[in-house]
Structure 1
Amino acid sequence: MSTPYLNRELSWLEFNQRVLNEALREDLPLLERVKFLAITASNMDEFFQVRIGGLMLMRRSGRKTPDASGLTPTRNLAVLRQRILKMCADQYTLLTGTLVPAMEKAGILPLHPRQLTVRQAGQVEAAFEDLIFPLLTPLAVDPDSSPPVVPALQITVACRLLDPETQNTRYALIPIPEALGRRIHVSVEGEGHAFVLIEDLVASQALQLFPGENVISTTAFRVTRNGDIAVQEEDAIDLAGEMEDVLTARRFADTVRLELRSDAPRDLVRVIKAVTGSGPQEIYRVDGPPGLASFMELAFLPGFDHLRDVDWPAQNSPAIAPGASMFETIASNDVLLFHPYESFEPVLRLIEEAAEDPDVIAIKQVLYRTARKSRIIDALIKAAENGKHVTALVELKARFDEARNLDRADELQRAGAQIVYGVKGLKTHAKICLIVRREAGRLRRYAHLGTGNYNETTSRLYTDLSYLTCKPEYGNDASLFFNAVTGRSKLLRFQRLVPAPTAMKPTLLDLIASEAERAKQGLPARIIGKVNSLQDPDIINALYKASQAGVEIKLNIRGICCLKPGDPKYSKNIEVISVIDRFLEHARLFYFHQGGNPEVYIASADWMTRNLEKRVELMIPIEEPALKRRLVRILEAFFQDNTQASRLMPDGTSQRIVRGKGQKAFRVQEHFHQQARKAAKAREHERAMTFEPHVPAE
């Protein structure tokens, strides 16, 4: 019998189903349900670009070798298509049958141009004339010429045109630039928000684009193209230039999905298929507007707070006094922050203070994904302008963030920062910032090490951990890390930090094996892990062996899980849960019992082969006893959740955990929020009751 291994792509789809299940919940506020629906669509866009695109390339190359789950690329694509068709049908049934009627009842009114009053029609026609018409570029479809290239992930309106004089019919396409948005506001009497979808407005006004012709029929469609296009680093003299070529290629790569309205006229369907090069397997007919990811805008409509969850604002960490220098705070104690329950502000403050502090000599930082208006980038630019030595390792291969990273790297370079574009052949995914400061005639190194990106926007939406320290051994390791990745030397084993691709996987395998050995000796043995994805076969096999030896294993996995739980031979001691709630679970956190002297780590890496073998990552041991205990409590709390957690079943599906009769409801994210609030209030009260002596000015 071969080792059980769940299919990676099907496992991801089950994760997306868990997200869709939130949108299906009648007890959630309406706009929260709309948000979760939009997230499922956005997730699916990336899934098609990367996973489906990659499988199609494998099939085209003739690859017939099955994956670890036993599926060849051809068979995998067929199985995935059936599952996606079912999910797609469920999405549109929810939208048209439940969410749209509920929005209309709540005063959020999607209107078709045919439904507008004379006054409203005049309003949207004026908007079309002034704001939309000048940006549209119709593309003729000429059977005797090469077909026009339709941009990826943009709504396009296809038109059938008739010349009334010659009675000749022809076809044209109108791509709608993303910058125009999806909704055109329509004024209504009284309270409420009405809008027309931009494709419906463009279709109704298409005559203006084709003077002298009649528009006989129209339909909207959307193309997804293969985004799994690699940088040819061996031949790339200029990596930044090579990335620009990749971005261009991605816009016009092979079609992997064509979203077509079910009511599209047959002749237009034929033309669209020919233009996009779509075969039957790439076509997905939808009972509503294509491109549901753009409906995320509706979830944040102003004036409808009553249709959303009550806000959970980030709290100030009790470890950081208001107005205190971040350097003084970290020098007195290591700091652990749990975002977004605790504010990301201290991390921003640390870098902003470093940019202005005359005693700071150097700042070195890895930038993988940053906010559009990034305070961190602004601080690094300021630091460089202030004469500090700034080194930014900008990862140009951060998928779908490449263009932004190119732009920000250029800004940093112009300010005088030293820019390094990642490591050849590997993505640099580690989350690390090192600040070198002159103190009392010596140099002291301050480090921020985390699980999430330096992105103040996502820090309010993703759960992550930040560790701030000036312990010499961590600072020394951080220096060696930057020397290795910027100087292209080897990532050797450090004093404390555990890097990938050299040491992280062997260390994890050793830790798992040592728990198994203790269990064989009849000693207590336990592993708790929290990751976004588990796919690496070596890690999975090691966990199976540990389970067989009697190790108690609890895994909290948000997304992909290729390990099969509940197998009586391999995994009877392994429990796998997944928590989907208002914040995206993103922190990676590992616990190994180690004979009663636990080892606890936070990490930038998931337990996937790509992270452990093909990326530059960091696993960080947390040794401070109080911080260690806090992390263990965080890990264990997830397994008490009986409102938002699902348990992974042996067949790869998941079932929501239902609380028992008389059992109190426990929602882990709400628990963490309440904990953060109580801790912040208690610290505030303590400070208010403490008298501080006045120090007279000299």
Structure 2
Amino acid sequence: MSLPFINRELSWLEFNQRVLNEALRSDLPLLERVKFLAITASNLDEFFQVRVGSLMLLQRSGRKNPDPSGMTPTQQLTAIRRRVQKMVEDQYHLFAEDLTKGLRSAGIRLLSTKGLTPTQYDQVAAAFHDQISPLLTPLAVVAGEEPPLVPALQLIVTCRVKDTETGAIRHVLIPIPDGVARRIPVSEVGDGVAFVLVEDVVALHAEELFPGEDVEATTCFRVTRNGDIAVQEDDASDLAGEMEEVLAARKLSGTVRLELPSSLPRDLAKVIQEVCGATSNETYRFAGPLALAGFMDLAFLPGFDQLRDEDWPSQPSPELAPGDSIFEAISRRDVLLHQPYESFEPVMRLIEEAADDPQVVSIKQVLYRTARQSRIIDALIRAAENGKTVTVLVELKARFDEARNLLRAEELQRAGAQIVYGVKGLKTHAKICLVVRREDGRLRRYVHLGTGNYNESTAKLYTDISLLTCRPEYGSDASLFFNAVTGRSKLLRFQRLVPAPTAMKPRLLELIASEAERARQGEPARILAKVNSLQDPEIIAALYQASKAGVEINLNVRGICCLKTGDARHSKHIRVVSVIDRFLEHARIFYFHQGGDPDIFIASADWMGRNLDRRVELMIPIEDSRARRRLLRILEAFFQDNTQASKILPDGSSERLKAAAGEKKFRAQEHFFKEARRTAKAREHERAMTFEPHVPK
């Protein structure tokens, strides 16, 4: 008998609905709601590029094999279209009927070009001539010829143009380059701000691009192309060169979504569909401006702090005193960071101090996604220039970051770093840095292991866990790890670290089965886990078996959850919640009770087939007693949340949890911030009251 399984793609859409639900909340500050709406639009862009693109390839190949939920590619695409159409209606109703009106009342006005004052019209005209027109390249659509290549995810103004002498009609496309600002500001009475959208400005002045012709009609559209194009590694002798070809191929790949305004002339719609190679199945109509993700910058508009949440600044780790050497701090004991409540600074300090410390002889690191202006990469370049041995595994297959990773890898290589472009056939997603330092005539290894990327920008927005340690077993395992991924040997013989794809899934299945057996013997048995996604069929099957045995299972799954809750036979003892709040939940933490001597891990991997079977990942056991207790408290807090948590329902949708009558409200992220602030202040006070003697060196 097949096990109950929720479709992966529909589960992801329900996650995006939970994000949209935040935008729908009237009790949230206005610009926070705008931010959440923009996030849902950005999420959909990637969903269509990757997931819908992959399904369309399967459909066109004739594949009819069902997924674990029993749905064929065609059935999934049909269900996705129906669900997305409803989501889009909700997005645009919110934008038009709530957010736009709220912004106007707050002094932020989106104007139509039809209602501009003479002064505003002159400002828009000046902006078109000075900032926009020189960057535009009209593309003619000529009957009988190959249609022009339409850039993906760009706004494109389509014009019906009539020759004033001959009366001939033709159509022209005007792509708006990414570098052009979406909002064109105009003067406004009072303290408010006003702006028009760049696509409206281009449409207003399009006739200036076609001397001797009249522009009879204009509309805007946007196309999404398949981004699920893999590197053919079996044939690639030069992975960097192959990746450049993949990036180019994405620009030419098939259309997976065409976005059009709800009302537009039929001839323009037909021309656009023919140019994009889109049918009605790929076409979506929108009752408002396209590309809502482009409104994200409104959330950070200066001068409107009252429309945003109160800032929650990262706090310094209590383990690190001002002026402390990072190596001295780690030597004292393991340092566990809960980001962004605690600052990511210690991780950057490890690499920056290592770059300049004359005692450091080598640095090895995996880079998956980095910041645009990365202090970490700058430090690695400096370390190489300072004569240290620097080895960096740069994952070129980090989707949508490939171009940036290529450029930074070249910079590192020019500085003298040894660059490895990932592992053949796998993505390297592990978060690990190894620093080797000469101390008292011997070599000592310092290791950073974490759940998040080496990206100081997202470290302020994503919740993650970092472990800084110099435990010999972890250092030895780190060396083995880098030897394996750079020397193309097997991920074996580790003392503490648990790698994927070789050992992580078997170890997880063993731990789940162990809890199940303890429950059958009448012992207390408990599993707590926090992951971004839960999809792997073997892990789900094992959790079902554990539930049937009586194991208490609490899962905090932010996004995709293919496990079916509420099934009396299979998931009676499984509870799944999802927390959506101001920070993106990104940490992976696992707890197995093990008869009162629990195993607690952090990991770079979610419980998905792609992570456990097709990526190089790491699961890290936590041995420091204080860190273990802290991680358990973090896990348990999410299951106390009755403010930002949603319960995952049997059909894959979700229901927001609310405090019962008389029950105190509890918000996990707010609790973590206040706890970090309280701990930092207490540590600062303790240091202020303590006299430390000066020790001559």
Structure 2: distance between partners of 1:487 and 1:503: 19
1:653-672 to 2 correspondences below 5 Å: 653-672=653-672
Amino acid of the residue matched to residue 499 of structure 1? P
Per-residue CA deviation, residues 303-353 of structure 1 (Å, 9 max, x unaligned), is 111100000000011111111000000001110000000000111111000
Structure 2: distance between partners of 1:51 and 1:623: 38
Amino acid of the residue matched to residue 104 of structure 2? E
Q: CA deviation at 1:626?
A: 1.1
1:118-517 to 2 correspondences below 5 Å: 118-517=118-517
Structure 1: distance between partners of 2:317 and 2:187: 44
Per-residue CA deviation, residues 366-393 of structure 1 (Å, 9 max, x unaligned), is 0000000000000000000000000000
Structure 2: distance between partners of 1:2 and 1:501: 25
Structure 1: distance between partners of 2:195 and 2:348: 38
Q: CA deviation at 1:354?
A: 0.3
Amino acid of the residue matched to residue 541 of structure 1? A
Per-residue CA deviation, residues 642-664 of structure 1 (Å, 9 max, x unaligned), is 00000001111100011100101
Q: CA deviation at 1:95?
A: 0.3
Q: Is the 8 A contact 1:360 1:435 kept in 2?
A: yes
Q: Is the 8 A contact 1:535 1:609 kept in 2?
A: yes
Percent identity between matched residues is 72
Q: CA deviation at 1:192?
A: 1.2
Q: CA deviation at 1:189?
A: 2.7
Amino acid of the residue matched to residue 366 of structure 2? V
Partner SS, residue 281 of structure 2 = helix
Partner SS, residue 342 of structure 2 = coil
Q: Is the 8 A contact 1:493 1:499 kept in 2?
A: no
Q: Is the 8 A contact 1:649 1:655 kept in 2?
A: yes
The more displaced of 261-270 and 569-578 is 261-270
Amino acid of the residue matched to residue 621 of structure 1? P
Aligned partner of 2:5 in structure 1 is 5
Per-residue CA deviation, residues 440-486 of structure 1 (Å, 9 max, x unaligned), is 00000000000000000000000000000001000000000000000
Amino acid of the residue matched to residue 326 of structure 2? M
Q: Is the 8 A contact 1:108 1:192 kept in 2?
A: yes
Structure 2: distance between partners of 1:56 and 1:414: 41
Q: CA deviation at 1:181?
A: 2.4
Amino acid of the residue matched to residue 445 of structure 1? R
Q: CA deviation at 1:163?
A: 0.7
1:692 aligns with 2:696: no
Per-residue CA deviation, residues 476-513 of structure 1 (Å, 9 max, x unaligned), is 00000000000000011410000000000000000000
Q: CA deviation at 1:164?
A: 1.1
The more displaced of 432-441 and 236-245 is 236-245
1:46 aligns with 2:64: no
1:34 aligns with 2:34: yes
Structure 2: distance between partners of 1:188 and 1:371: 36
Aligned partner of 1:600 in structure 2 is 600
Aligned partner of 1:559 in structure 2 is 559
Structure 2: distance between partners of 1:694 and 1:520: 60
Q: CA deviation at 1:80?
A: 0.9
Q: Is the 8 A contact 1:428 1:617 kept in 2?
A: yes
Amino acid of the residue matched to residue 70 of structure 1? G
Structure 1: distance between partners of 2:181 and 2:532: 31
Per-residue CA deviation, residues 402-452 of structure 1 (Å, 9 max, x unaligned), is 011001001100111000000000000000000000000000000000000
Per-residue CA deviation, residues 159-213 of structure 1 (Å, 9 max, x unaligned), is 0001111011100000000111211111223211111100000000101111111
Partner SS, residue 633 of structure 1 = helix
Aligned partner of 1:76 in structure 2 is 76
1:514-593 to 2 correspondences below 5 Å: 514-593=514-593
Partner SS, residue 179 of structure 2 = helix
Amino acid of the residue matched to residue 453 of structure 2? N
Aligned partner of 2:107 in structure 1 is 107
* TM-score between the two structures when normalised by the length of structure 1: 0.99
Q: Is the 8 A contact 1:578 1:647 kept in 2?
A: yes
Structure 2: distance between partners of 1:572 and 1:320: 45
Q: CA deviation at 1:625?
A: 1.1
Structure 1: distance between partners of 2:606 and 2:187: 48
* TM-score between the two structures when normalised by the length of structure 2: 0.99
Structure 2: distance between partners of 1:333 and 1:521: 38
Q: CA deviation at 1:688?
A: 0.4
Structure 2: distance between partners of 1:27 and 1:158: 40
Structure 2: distance between partners of 1:115 and 1:249: 42
Q: CA deviation at 1:674?
A: 0.2
Per-residue CA deviation, residues 124-171 of structure 1 (Å, 9 max, x unaligned), is 211111111111000000012100010000000000001111011100
Q: CA deviation at 1:363?
A: 0.3
Structure 2: distance between partners of 1:650 and 1:441: 61
Amino acid of the residue matched to residue 28 of structure 1? L
Structure 1: distance between partners of 2:495 and 2:295: 49
Structure 2: distance between partners of 1:571 and 1:533: 17
Q: Is the 8 A contact 1:493 1:503 kept in 2?
A: no
The RMSD of aligned alpha carbons is 0.7
Amino acid of the residue matched to residue 449 of structure 2? L
Structure 2: distance between partners of 1:393 and 1:158: 44
Unaligned ranges ≥5, structure 1: none
Per-residue CA deviation, residues 43-90 of structure 1 (Å, 9 max, x unaligned), is 000000011000000000000111100000011100111000000100
Structure 2: distance between partners of 1:50 and 1:694: 59
Structure 2: distance between partners of 1:664 and 1:123: 53
Q: CA deviation at 1:264?
A: 1.4
Structure 2: distance between partners of 1:277 and 1:204: 27
Structure 2: distance between partners of 1:684 and 1:399: 42
Structure 1: distance between partners of 2:451 and 2:181: 33
Tell me the matched-pair count.
697
Q: Is the 8 A contact 1:527 1:551 kept in 2?
A: yes
Unaligned ranges ≥5, structure 2: none
Q: Is the 8 A contact 1:504 1:612 kept in 2?
A: yes
Q: CA deviation at 1:5?
A: 0.4
Partner SS, residue 489 of structure 1 = coil
Aligned partner of 2:622 in structure 1 is 622
Structure 1: distance between partners of 2:384 and 2:186: 48
Amino acid of the residue matched to residue 510 of structure 1? E
Structure 1: distance between partners of 2:263 and 2:77: 26
Amino acid of the residue matched to residue 365 of structure 1? Q
Aligned partner of 1:64 in structure 2 is 64
Structure 2: distance between partners of 1:350 and 1:190: 49
Structure 2: distance between partners of 1:324 and 1:102: 49
Q: After TM superposition, which residue ranges in structure 1, 4 or more long, deviate above 4 angstroms? A: none
Aligned partner of 2:98 in structure 1 is 98
Q: CA deviation at 1:676?
A: 0.1
Partner SS, residue 179 of structure 1 = coil
Structure 1: distance between partners of 2:81 and 2:197: 28
Q: CA deviation at 1:527?
A: 0.3
Structure 2: distance between partners of 1:266 and 1:38: 29
1:626-641 to 2 correspondences below 5 Å: 626-641=626-641
Partner SS, residue 397 of structure 1 = coil
Structure 2: distance between partners of 1:680 and 1:191: 39
Partner SS, residue 544 of structure 1 = helix
